[in-house]
Amino acid sequence: MAQSIEWQREADIVVVGSGAAGLPAAIVAREAGASVIVIEAEADIGGHAITSGGNVPLGGGTSAQRKYGIEDSPDLLFADLTDWSVVQPNGFPDYRYNDREIIRAFADNSAASYEWLVAHGVIFADKAPDDRGGYSVGNSAPREMHSVPVDWPLVQTGQPATPEQRLTFSTGNGLMRPLEAAAKKAGVEILLRHRMTALHRPDGKNGRVTGIAVDHQGKTLNIRAKKAVILGTGGGTGNVEFRRMFDPRLTEEYCGLAGMPWSNQDASGELAAMEIGASLWGLYNQVGEFSLSITKPGQIGCRYGYRNLQWMPGSPVFDRAGASGLKVADWQDIVLVNMLGKRFYDETGEQFTANNYKSIDPYVIGDYRNARNVKYEARNFLNAALAGIGDSHNGGGPIWAIFDTDAVAREGWNPVPPNVDIAAGLFFSADTLGDLAHEIEMKHQRVPMPPEALEATIARYNSFVDSGVDADFEKPSPRYKIAKPPFYAAWATPVVHDARAGLRINASCQVVDLRGQVIPGLYCGGESAGGFSQHGLARAICQGFIAGAKAVAETA
């Protein structure tokens, strides 16, 4: 028997999340005549999208592509994003396991989504679409556009961009702040600090979704959705147990999620939908070793070391970020060791790659011979870092960057707070390497670092500088000894990034259950949805665009 629910609020459409999927969905639905409430768990809008680089690979024949003579079409975009023959140097395919129904909908709506953004106040750098910041966006045409901040304050600094950057610097601020303004102008109601705790489907795993339960500062509210609920909750990479369903190695020490602490990816949308029967989808795309599911840190000595996002004093979330971190210009300046004080890889090694415009050249869509134009390369920094230390634990454990005073001078670092996070146990210093090993103590360092191991590692590395040959890991011509005290250890553990697996949806962004049936009244888009391997903003924007239009047509 269906349970009676006391509703405190109601709207035609309830959107969960105010990021790159949620706000487009809300605006489209509101402008189509529906009443719309958006709930957002955080204190401000934007989700991970507002912290992003603002690189938007919408193609298929946009006005920007036409302006610069770039040939593209929905059919070409679809063919690109479903091409089984494209592989990376490590053998992993970008597009082979994409859901063709979902990609067809994206291809058919991609150009329209771009024009919709422009019509709603998003300003893009006045330049030809290019390949900068593109990951698994298709080989046949440049599609990447870059939203600029104009006068919007940057979330990273709390200040506007410089006059030189206002129309050139690519940033998610330039995407999400105009959409926030458009949503408010349209009459969308946005409720901040409201966290969804459950989806209401009174008939259990049958019947339609009627609304959501929300926690607001300890108070439970029920919000009725007369037509539909749209999930834009941003994925599950911040939920350790959820992400470990895909990759058991990603244990607690991988705590520096890209986009945090502005927003978390807590799997709340996926878990709530699974409770009422929803299926997960496209799981290979999360474990496939391509694109930015995991990244090598760009800043060290801080928790949030994502290479394309550095938190600075003045940011509204800097108190939670803890430190800016030391941006690494030259990985020759440091040695990376695991929790046992041992090197494990060439420090200059890079992360997973992904397909982009002309990554394969020459290229013929669907031709198995495309792989002949890819140079196979088995080396990979991330797998070495995640490999573990030979005990019974799944996680690789902390990775520490070891360097000396000479390295500090070469890099121009100032290794004191707020540049490094000493309070959280993410940065240590000492006058000897043995003492440095003794100093390293924090919750993720599950065993003490043996001082003799660190001393032996650095002595051996210094001998490689003398010889010019890294006999262990083939670091190209090791340049600098670690010899001048004080010595430093900075957190340099890989960063978990975006979600590319989530709830099963169809071309209309309706959520599908484990029986292959649509769950009436429930939609999803962006990183909470599965079936689409592409990193970045475009799939979220386009799926929000689709979901908003389709949800309005729902009949109770």
In Å, what is the CA distance from 469 to each residue of 320, 460, 477, 500? 42, 11, 6, 39
Band (81; pLDDT cuts 50, 70, 90): very high
CB 520 within 8 A of CB 273: no
Give the tens place of pLDDT for each residue, 414-443.
999 999 999 999 999 999 999 999 999 999
Q: Are residues 222 and 79 in the same domain?
A: yes
Between CA 263 and CA 528 the distance in angstroms is: 14
CB 524 within 8 A of CB 232: yes
CB 192 within 8 A of CB 214: no
Residue 23 has pLDDT above 60, yes or no: yes
Instruction: Residue 281: name the closest of 94, 517, 511 by CA.
Output: 511
Residue 116 has pLDDT above 70, yes or no: yes
252 Cβ partners below 8 Å, 6+ apart? Answer: 240, 395, 444
CATH number for position 426: 3.90.700.10
- Mean pLDDT computed over 122-130: 98
66's tokens: 């036409």
Give residue 364's pLDDT.
98
Give residue 247's pLDDT.
95
CB 199 within 8 A of CB 275: yes
Vertex 402 angle, CA 481 and 440, to 5°: 145
> Does any domain span residue 306?
yes
> Does any domain span residue 2?
no
- Mean pLDDT computed over 509-535: 97
How many structural domains are present in the chain?
2
Q: Are residues 210 and 136 in the same domain?
A: yes
Q: Are residues 476 and 506 in the same domain?
A: no
In Å, what is the CA distance from 318 to each residue of 155, 182, 258, 497? 10, 27, 14, 20
- For residues 185 and 554, the model is more confident at 185
Q: Are residues 312 and 217 in the same domain?
A: no
Which of 491, 513, 528 is at the close of a domain? 491
Give the tens place of pLDDT for each residue, 449-486.
999 999 999 999 999 999 999 999 999 999 999 999 99
Band (555; pLDDT cuts 50, 70, 90): confident
436's tokens: 């440095």
Q: Are residues 462 and 517 in the same domain?
A: no
Q: Cα-atom radius of gyration of the chain, to the nearest Å?
A: 24
Which of 448, 475, 491 is at the close of a domain? 491
Q: What is the DSSP letter of 151?
A: T
Give residue 1's pLDDT.
38
Q: Are residues 258 and 306 in the same domain?
A: no
> Does any domain span residue 410?
yes
Between CA 515 and CA 191 the distance in angstroms is: 34
Between CA 513 and CA 50 the distance in angstroms is: 31
Amino acid at 6: E
Q: Are residues 52 and 14 in the same domain?
A: yes
Which of 440, 459, 491 is at the close of a domain? 491
Give residue 543's pLDDT.
98
Q: Are residues 404 and 523 in the same domain?
A: no
- Mean pLDDT computed over 308-316: 96
Give residue 388's pLDDT.
87
> Does any domain span residue 374?
no
CA dihedral defined by 94, 96, 101, 107, rounded to 10 degrees? 40
> Does any domain span residue 201?
yes
CATH number for position 169: 3.50.50.60
Neighbour-count burial of 359, counting CB atoms closer than 10 A to its CB (0-12 exposed, 13-18 middle, 19+ buried) = buried
- Mean pLDDT computed over 318-332: 98
Whether omega before 418 lies within 30 degrees of 0, making that bond cis, reads yes
> Does any domain span residue 335?
yes
Instruction: Residue 452: name the closest of 342, 292, 298, 305 by CA.
Output: 342
Between CA 257 and CA 133 the distance in angstroms is: 19
Give the tens place of pLDDT for each residue, 160-205.
999 999 999 999 999 999 999 999 999 999 999 999 999 999 888 8
> Does any domain span residue 433?
yes
Q: Are residues 195 and 314 in the same domain?
A: no
Between CA 422 and CA 426 the distance in angstroms is: 6
Q: Are residues 266 and 326 in the same domain?
A: no
Between CA 307 and CA 119 the distance in angstroms is: 32
Give residue 34's pLDDT.
98
Q: Are residues 202 and 74 in the same domain?
A: yes
Give residue 205's pLDDT.
84
Percent of the chain at pLDDT exceeding 70: 99
Query: Distance of alpha carbon 16 from its chain centroid, rounded?
Result: 18
Residue 227 has pLDDT above 70, yes or no: yes
Band (75; pLDDT cuts 50, 70, 90): very high
> Does any domain span residue 215?
yes
CB 272 within 8 A of CB 282: no
Give residue 3's pLDDT.
61
- What average pLDDT is seen over the chain? 96
Which domain range does residue 325 map to?
297-349+400-491
Give the tens place of pLDDT for each residue, 339-354.
999 999 999 999 999 9
3-class SS of residue 495: strand
Q: Are residues 311 and 232 in the same domain?
A: no
Instruction: Residue 338: name the closest of 373, 386, 409 by CA.
Output: 386
Give residue 457's pLDDT.
98
Percent of the chain at pLDDT exceeding 90: 96
Between CA 215 and CA 197 the distance in angstroms is: 7
